[in-house]
Amino acid sequence: MDKSKYTSIAILLHWVMALLILITWSIAIVVSDMPLSPARIAGFSWHKWLGTTVFFLVVVRLLWRASHQVPKFEITMPAWQEKMMQCTHIALYLLMLAIPVVGWLMSSAKGYTVNYFGLFDLPDLVEKDKGLGSVLKEIHEVLANGLMALVGLHILAALKHQFIDKDGLLSRMSFFRHTDNER
């Protein structure tokens, strides 16, 4: 096994969560401008279901990361870039946890119980309070847009390492084998 790569489970969680986050954010963008309709309600239901799934998966991912050694980091980069990478990763994890929780709080404050794919209801976290719901909606949106900005930065950094630095950093989170001359 390549000691510089993440485990297959960590890689799978990374890419599944990346896809779910992009879909969840995109659904919110599309349905937020729709008039009240069954399509809008269905869109927000999917947004909540996927957002809840992201929350569950980030908890699993954090537990996995805590119980499995992070692969050796064999790439040399300026100290400021390494610090920026560490701060970005911490911020990504914090946002992946905070955004669903704020969304859950918002739904509770607006008087909507969060249901998970019709399987069970999540408990309401706060009493119904439309004013609080409006504030939490704004916070949820700002955090989600901040997450997308960080995701963009994360992608640009990965692409820089892959195509400009050609240091093989992207291979750490890839299922594909890379030859030594790609590093």
Q: What is the pLDDT of residues 92-109, one digit of tens each?
A: 999 999 999 999 999 999
* In-domain check, residue 126: yes
Residue 179 confidence (pLDDT) above 90: no
- Please give the full DSSP string across 55-108, using - where no structure is assigned: HHHHHHHHHHHHHSPPPP------HHHHHHHHHHHHHHHHHHHHHHHHHHHHHH
Q: Is the distance from CB of 104 to CB of 84 less than 8 angstroms?
A: no
Domain that holds residue 20: 8-182
Q: What is the pLDDT of residues 57-100, one digit of tens each?
A: 999 999 999 999 988 888 888 999 999 999 999 999 999 999 99
Report in angstroms the alpha-carbon separations of 161 from 68, 109, 156, 172: 25, 43, 9, 12
Residue 28 confidence (pLDDT) above 80: yes
Single-letter code of the amino acid located at 44: F
Q: Tokens at residue 12, please?
A: 């799978």
Q: Distance (Å, rounded) from C-alpha 50 to C-alpha 77? A: 36
Residue 181 confidence (pLDDT) above 60: no
Q: Mutual orientation of helices 8-32 and 130-159 as an angle, nearest 10°?
A: 130
Categorize the per-residue pLDDT at 7 as very low, low, confident or very high, splitting at 50, 70 and 90.
very high
Q: Distance (Å, rounded) from C-alpha 58 to C-alpha 60? A: 5
pLDDT of residue 177: 64
Q: Distance (Å, rounded) from C-alpha 55 to C-alpha 155? A: 21
Domain count, the chain: 1
* In-domain check, residue 2: no
* In-domain check, residue 1: no
* In-domain check, residue 74: yes
* In-domain check, residue 26: yes
